Structure 1
Amino acid sequence: MPEIIQLPQFTRDAEVRSGSFNEQANTIDVIWTTGATVRRRNWMDGEFDEELVVNPASVRLDRLNSGAPFLDTHSGYSLSSVIGSVVPGSARIEAGRGLATIQLTRREDAKGTVQDIRDGVIRNISAGYKIWTVEKQERKGRIPLMRATDWEPWEISAVPIPADPGARVRSGDAKLETFACQVVHSLADQNEIRRIRLGMEQRMAGLGR
């Protein structure tokens, strides 16, 4: 039976591509992931390193390419927080990076924020995502490595300060929403587990004396 753990939505720092603003279309290009390894912590496992595998087979792009929201600081509780959306079909993986084009809003109440993005005053972008499957690698003398081999970006946000890599998206609710994630152990770990189990079985049978 596969191991299932509960994980919250995470965020990753990203960036606006300089000089990419299109005046006529009111769009801007963003790099929403590079897959770099970051240090995280949760209450179940303590510290671990997280690596996002960035290739077409590992990243689910359907939500982004359906016009996922471009939010003000990951706020999903009000329509006024939506300051744009991903241009359908623009989210893609190229050379180990996640890229997308953002259609910015023309609403009057968001005019100042959008202008700051256009002018390069707001440069920090953060992507929120859900992990479906991780490959856990135990590393002797080091904290474990969790490789996200199946994950899904949900939204992209403009943020004032890049999020701490170990921080989660926080909501106003006391309860943090989590999602089921399957843990797959690496081949080396699986072989080690089999060796330990075999040794235990032999000792129980009196063969290991």
Structure 2
Amino acid sequence: MLMHKGTVPLETPRLALRRFRPEDTPSVYRNWASDPQVTRYMRWSPHQSVQETGQVVESWVKHYSQPSFYLWLIELRETGTPIGALEATITSENDACAELGYCLGRYWWGGGLMSEAVAVAIRFLFQEVGLNRIEACHSVRNPASGRVMEKCGMTFEGMARQKYYSPTEGFQDCRTYAILRGDWTEYLQISQQFHTQN
């Protein structure tokens, strides 16, 4: 049985992961939600107004009352700037499995920040929630996302044809990755460089 904790604060040397708040709306809109380059391979279209972003953020905030809802805003610890989002969707309670999804503002690409966020989330989901398997996938057209998965100890498991639909790019062939709780020792070796104890 999973031990759900909800979206609790997490930290890495450079990042703080926390719940979204309504007052984050302007930064979310400006820093990534309205950017077509960020949303290009997502399942959602770039937001057309800050009001649209506000409605989405409000819906997320309401879901935080559910212990099995895991959605973090990622911010820089030094400045408090919101730079992205990370979600873990529980795909099976019985099988103790979840799928990760994430996005990062374009200005912060290439600096290893998303790897930090994903690594600390994986640690939390295995150690605190009790998951056995964590999955993720990325469009074959977006290999940078796959590098994040690999840096966090996830193993490539194969291709999934037309796995999801992107409003911008259409149906996407994907590379799928996963990490198991049984990979714990190897995972710790990878993740130690990213996280600090909470």
Say yes or no: TM over 0.5.
no
TM-score of the superposed pair, with normalisation by structure 1: 0.25
TM-score of the superposed pair, with normalisation by structure 2: 0.26
The higher-RCO structure (CA 8 Å, 6+ apart) is: 1
Tell me which structure has the larger Cα radius of gyration.
1
Structure with greater helix percent = 2
Structure with greater strand percent = 1
